[in-house]
Structure 1
């Protein structure tokens, strides 16, 4: 009589693992379905309690929604001047440690500033074209195969953008302008950057005077050419340098316009370009949704714990 090999009916370890995992998954699925069924039966049995909690929760939530203090967002577009962007970022980062917020509340501004943040307004096109150095830097990066779009949003590049968005969040309806003015006053109070402001404004005024002199010089050349040609036969062919003079004058006028704008913005270390105030900040969900949900979840949780404790005692 031929004997069977001893390991003929033995399962391999891999087969045992697969079978065990299958049983575990099946058991978990069955327990989940059973839990859903028990929850449904509990809700059916206690429907009157669930309905009462739902009505009370909705009513209470609607009352809270109608009486709670409004939260508002104020967006300020600012221009950090004189290399003050790192100073501004640090000042905003440390805002919670400043005494300014307590001062605002003490002054009865009515707006508790609970959050302040700042972020650059990405404008790579303007950033590249307004400065030849920036254009050359981006050209080199492009030739080296670096992703310009990714680099333009990097921390290094964003520090050099002209405009930044300063967002102030306040809790309560009060004197918004007073709160914003006090924050800007705090940001513009640094002694070092105010000294730099005076020096750079003086240099900008000197630059403007030089540009005006150059424009007057070109205008004088045009007047001289006009007086020398009484028959008004000034043409580009007769005077080929006219094209260069016109191009130079146009460039100088653009520079003069840019300098005038720069003088306006250099009035402050952190210059406020424009602002949008009192924008409502809506919660993720109104209290008329969250309160009844919490009531029902709390009731089900308490009932479950009571049943568990009772089963353990038995």
Structure 2
């Protein structure tokens, strides 16, 4: 009997707890609904004011966009040569400091006359390249075929220099479209004017030219050896010839190695010619862009920003007014 009574009390207690829980949930939904209703009534009472503020903000923003000139920019994609990356960043910082200081003498010395410093700015950033992990792995596998050759050192040195020397973007900002293009060209000429790198480029080009000339002589000798061997095969076609040839009574050479050596000489000549073409200046210009308007983010545009500011101020004033009224009620 006592056990049945305890079970009944526990069931009734559970029912009471569930009832209280449902009541709390209902009160929560009612509070949310009342809050939404109050916000709706607030917006309904002030809808004309809000519409007026939006229209006023759009008009002010449109007027400012017509009065204030658009900011322009030119983007130049460059590639530093011969470890000139640090120099490139330092000289960009130097130019920007001259702009901040409004150093007219400096800009006149590089050929920029009657400069307007309003809106002028120079920035530099690294061009982020796509991840080509799969292609890099295939290239490493290809390099294994050159591991026992003399060309592997030069190939690895060139590739390491290429991987550590990213392309960079120099951005010139300005307001006056009449001086923008000339301003960017004069500054690029100034960046590529450096006595140290001029001497280094001269030595570098002389070494590359000498290497090309020496390789071409070796290539001519290899071609003569291959030609003589081919002629020998034609004359002694009926004789049993081995796969190896003898040069001036010296040790035998594998004809397959000779062809491989020829291909390496050709590749080295092509690489050095490409280096000569690329190493003409301390900083190679890959692409000199055209003048373009600076595109701002949607909410950063004046025609959108000003209405948002006006509406936000209205909400802030309304909230402060509400707090002031409540505080007066409590004080009374």
Q: TM-score range by the shorter chain?
A: 0.5 to 0.7
1:170 aligns with 2:164: no
* Contact 2:80–2:282, Cα closer than 8 Å, also in 1: yes
Question: Quick one: distance in 1 between partners of 2:100 and 2:161?
Answer: 27
Question: Larger Cα Rg: Structure 1 or Structure 2?
Answer: 2
* Contact 1:101–1:112, Cα closer than 8 Å, also in 2: no
TM-score, length of structure 2 as denominator length: 0.63
* Contact 1:110–1:175, Cα closer than 8 Å, also in 2: no
Question: Quick one: distance in 2 between partners of 1:134 and 1:206?
Answer: 15
TM-score, length of structure 1 as denominator length: 0.66
Question: Quick one: distance in 2 between partners of 1:243 and 1:260?
Answer: 26
Question: Paired residues, what number?
Answer: 269
Deviations 1:142-171 (A, max 9, x none): xxxxxxxxxxxxxxx899534412230423
* Contact 2:126–2:166, Cα closer than 8 Å, also in 1: no
1:223 aligns with 2:230: no
Mean alpha-carbon deviation: is it higher for 69-78 or for 35-44? 35-44
Deviations 1:45-83 (A, max 9, x none): 222221111112223333444564334454433221222
Q: Structure 1 residues 101, 72: CA separation in 2 closer, same or farther (over 3 Å shift)? A: farther
* Contact 2:73–2:173, Cα closer than 8 Å, also in 1: yes
Mean alpha-carbon deviation: is it higher for 127-136 or for 302-311? 127-136
Where structure 2 has 5 or more consecutive residues not aligned to the other structure, the ranges are 1-26, 246-252
Aligned to 1:195: 199
Question: Quick one: distance in 2 between partners of 1:216 and 1:111?
Answer: 62
Question: Quick one: distance in 2 between partners of 1:158 and 1:39?
Answer: 63
1:300 aligns with 2:315: yes
Aligned to 2:189: 185
Question: Quick one: distance in 2 between partners of 1:36 and 1:242?
Answer: 89
Question: Quick one: distance in 2 between partners of 1:36 and 1:94?
Answer: 57
* Contact 1:236–1:243, Cα closer than 8 Å, also in 2: no
Q: Secondary structure at the match of 1:83?
A: coil
Question: Quick one: distance in 1 between partners of 2:48 and 2:161?
Answer: 59
* Contact 1:109–1:179, Cα closer than 8 Å, also in 2: no
* Contact 2:172–2:184, Cα closer than 8 Å, also in 1: no
Q: How does 1:195-274 map to 2 (within 5 A)?
A: 195-228=199-232, 237=243, 241-274=254-287
Aligned to 2:249: none
Q: Structure 1 residues 292, 221: CA separation in 2 closer, same or farther (over 3 Å shift)? A: same
Deviations 1:223-279 (A, max 9, x none): 333454555969994757332222212211111111111111211011112333335
